Chain A
C-alpha cells in the first residue's frame, strides 16, 4: 500500500517537474538575445579571481587548520567551500550562456562563424560538465569539512584557470552588449 502511494507521489512529482522544465525550456528555446549575453558577461565579471584563488588555496586551508580550533575550522571551511561553490555555479551559468551563443553561431550563414560556433559550443559544454562535477565536490566539502580529498588540487587548478579565463572573457566582452540579433 505504502509503495503504491510512494510511486504515485513520485509520478506526480515527475510530472510537475517535467511540465515545469518543459515549459521553461520551450519559452527560452530561442530566447537568445541580450539577456543571455548579458547574463554571460555579468557572470564573468562577478568572478573575482583573487577571491576565488584564496577560497580554494590549500596552503591557506592548512594555515587555518593549524591555527583554529577544530570546531571553528569546520565552520570557516564550510563557509569557504560554500562561497567557492557559488563561484563554480556562476561559472557554469556562464558556460551555459556561452553554449547557447555557440549554438546560435553554428547556424550562421558565414562558414567561419559557424565553424567557430561549433568549437565554442563543444568547449562550453565541457566547461559546464566540469563545473557540475566541481559543484558536487564542493558540496561534499560543505557537508564533510574534515574530509581531505586527494583529488582536490587538480580541481583547484582547473577552477583557477576557469575563473581566470572567464574573467578575461568578461573584460573582453565589455561594451559589446546586444550584438546577437534575430
Chain B
C-alpha cells in the first residue's frame, strides 16, 4: 500500500497529465488540419479537456462532494456518446475506399451492435451490482454496458479489417487501438467497481482507470503525430495483369 499522500499525488498526476497531453493533441490536430478528417474525435478531445477543467475546478472548490459527483456522472454520459461517434468515424474511414464494404461491413457492424446491446441490457438486468446509491450504480452499469459494446465493436473492426485485408490509415488505427484499450480496461474496472466496495479495491481502481487513460492518450499521440507511412506503390504492376484478375473475379461474382 502506498502512503496516503503519495497515493493522492499519483492520482492527481494521472488525472492531470493525460488531459494536458490531450490539450497538446488538440493543438496538433488543429495545426495539421486533421480535424477535417476526424471531426468527432477532435470534438471528443476538446470535450475531454473541457470536462477536466470543469471537474478539476469543482474538485478544487468542494472536494468530491455532491456537486462534483453529479457533474462527473453527467459528463461521463456525454463522453460515452462521443466515443460511439468516434467509433463510427473510424469505421467510415476504414471502409472509405470500397463502396461495397461501406454497405456490407456497416450492415454487419449494425448487427454486431444490436447483439452487444442485447447482452449489455441482459447484463444490466441480471448483474446490476451494488445498489447502495441507486442512480450512481445506474450510471456505473450504463458505463459498463457501453464499455462492453464499444470493446466488441472495436474488436469487430480490427477482425473485419484483418479478415478482409483492408488497410488502415495510421491515424484511424491509433484512435481505434487507444479506444479499444480504454474500453476493455473500463469494462473490467466498472465490473469490479460495481461488485467490490472495499477501500483497497477502490484505491486500486482509482489509479488503474486514469493510468489506462494516460496509456490511451500516449497511443493517440504516437499515431497521430507520426507521419503517415507511404503504402507500397505498385509502379511496375502491368495494367493488363490487374485488368485480367479483375475480369476473372467479375466473372466469378456475376451470378
Contact = CB atoms under 8 A, between A and B. Distances in A.
Contacts of A25: 158, 161-162, 168, 173
The number of chain B residues touching the other chain, given as a range, is 35 or more
A152 B190 CA distance: 46
B163 interface: yes
B144 interface: yes
B185 A11 contact: yes
A30 B162 CA distance: 13
Given A122-B98, A126-B100, A127-B249, A12 B188 contact: yes
Contacts, number: 207
A25 B166 CA distance: 10
Contacts of B148: 7, 10
Contacts of A21: 155, 158-159, 162
Interface string A102-129: 1111111110110011111111111111
Interface stretch (A74-82, A140-148, A168-176): A168-176
Contacts of B239: 110, 112-113, 116
Contacts of B168: 25-26, 29
Nearest to B177: A22
A155 to B, nearest CB: 12
Nearest to A132: B163
B167 A103 contact: yes
Interface string B95-130: 001111100100000000000000000010011010
A33 interface: yes
A53 to B, nearest CB: 15
B242 A96 contact: no
A158 B158 contact: no
Nearest to A18: B180
Contacts of B194: 4
Contacts of A105: 234, 237, 242
Contact of B151 (A14, A104, A127): A14
The number of chain A residues touching the other chain, given as a range, is 35 or more
A109 B239 CA distance: 12
Contacts of A180: 232, 234, 236-237
A127 B233 contact: no
Contacts of B203: none
B164 A169 contact: no
Interface in A123-139: 123-130, 132
B244 interface: yes
Contacts of B144: 7
Contact of A125 (B100, B147, B242, B252): B100
What 5 A-B pairs come out closest when comparing CB atoms?
A: A3-B127, A123-B249, A7-B191, A11-B188, A96-B165
Given A30-B232, A105-B242, 17 more contacts: A4-B127, A7-B123, A8-B188, A14-B184, A15-B181, A21-B158, A22-B173, A25-B162, A101-B245, A103-B165, A107-B231, A108-B237, A120-B246, A123-B249, A125-B164, A158-B255, A179-B236
